Amino acid sequence: MTDHSLLFEPIRMGDLTLPNRVLMAPLTRNRSQGDGTPREWAETYYRQRASAGLIFSEATQISDMGKGYLDTPGIYTQAHVDGWKKVVDAVHAGGGRIFCQLWHVGRISHVSLLPEGKQPVSASAIQADAQTYTANGFEQVSEPVALDADGIAKTIADFHTAAECAKRAGFDGIEVHAANGYLLDQFLQDGVNKRDDNYGGSIENRMRLLSEVLDTVSQVYPEERIGVRLSPLGQAGDISDSNPEKLFSAVYQKLSERDLAYLHVVEAFPGSDGDSEAQALIRRLREQYDGFYIANGGYDAESAVSEIDGWNIDAVTFGRSFIANPDLPERYRRDAKLNKPDQDTFYGGDEKGYTDYPFLDDRH
């Protein structure tokens, strides 16, 4: 039996002690009510996974303009707070901890998902070659408009409100979603950010929106309860940068100046495993961040143990394996067989493929 005990050494992250390093990745499941309030199923789903060292909620939009897919949850109304509070309480009752992933999709949206059929917003008016899921199935995302100064101020204020709502719901912390080609990533990367004001051009300027968002949410949560998610390989949402290493070195260094809980990095996307050049870049970048580092993408228990042991990562988030294995830590502890995730039920639907994956000792 492979020794996975390293995964079960408790670790300090900010002022929290995580009982293990098997963390649950943020996973959009498109099962919320139309207004963005989580359904009761979500309480069961998250409580079932409370043995994770830490749970990251599915991406949760900070405003109605931040929405980009059908039936994703929000965190900006009283109904959202009430719905999420039940989820958070269920996780806490199960002995777990949960951070809320705060999300604005930017240009990865469709007019049919936005209030009064508005166009999505972005750093610049450049339509993505990407699809989203609407009431009519998969559709090309709509053409965006560039945020003006008022729009940027409003977006920052929306992040503040969302952080307050997350706090009222009892979330242990928040994750600012700056990965996967969504709004904050659209400002970072110059394939999309063509602005000529102080939010575009130089790397310093392109990092400004992320910095201002962190400034505002840290008025609500202490920095040691705030983390950031980045995806420097830029493989989602038609995002690109002319010099990713230069950009992300600067971002990692800038984030190191704060006392954040962690940096959470999508190191590989499904299908990209084994790209050694990309992995070398990820490791060079890691050296630029001074703080708690959470790795994600294509890990299993073996690679998590060997990477935690072999170089400088602190914990790992598991995505698809947590969908299919509510008791993933226990399975890793016992080196037990894993359930296989059913891709057909990842996005949307009901409790099938959501709350019905079996536990090892199926008592739940």
How many Å apart are CA 340 and CA 323, to the nearest integer?
A: 9
The nearest distance, CB 41 to ligand FMN, in angstroms, is 15
How many Å apart are CA 79 and CA 112, to the nearest integer?
A: 22
How many Å apart are CA 299 and CA 301, to the nearest integer?
A: 7
In the bound state with ligand FMN, the residue whose beta carbon lies nearer, of 146 and 230, is: 230
Q: Give me the 191-220 binding string for ligand FMN, x by CB under 6 A, dash otherwise.
A: ------------------------------
The nearest distance, CB 69 to ligand FMN, in angstroms, is 9
In degrees and rounded to multiples of 5, residue 59 shows phi and psi of -55, 135
How many Å apart are CA 329 and CA 7, to the nearest integer?
A: 8
Please tell me the number of Cα atoms within 13 Å of 115 on its side-chain side: 5
Binding status of residue 177 toward ligand FMN by CB under 6 A: yes
Binding status of residue 266 toward ligand FMN by CB under 6 A: yes
In the bound state with ligand FMN, the residue whose beta carbon lies nearer, of 27 and 165, is: 27
Footprint of ligand FMN on residues 142-171 (CB under 6 A)?
A: none
Return the residue of 45, 171, 318, 354 that touches ligand FMN, per CB under 6 A.
Answer: 318
Q: Which of 76, 182, 199, 221 is flagged as catalytic?
A: 182
**212-219 own/partner pairs: CB under 8 Å, 24+ apart:** 212/156, 213/156, 213/159, 213/176, 213/184, 214/176, 214/258, 214/260, 216/156, 216/157, 216/159, 216/160, 216/163, 217/102, 217/159, 217/160, 217/163, 217/174, 217/176, 218/258, 219/160
Binding status of residue 294 toward ligand FMN by CB under 6 A: no
Binding status of residue 24 toward ligand FMN by CB under 6 A: no
Which span (7-15, 21-29, 154-162, 183-191) binds ligand FMN, by CB under 6 A?
21-29
Chain contacts with ligand FMN (rule: CB under 6 A) = 25-28, 58-59, 101, 177, 179-180, 229, 266, 270, 296-299, 318-320, 346
Active site residues: 182
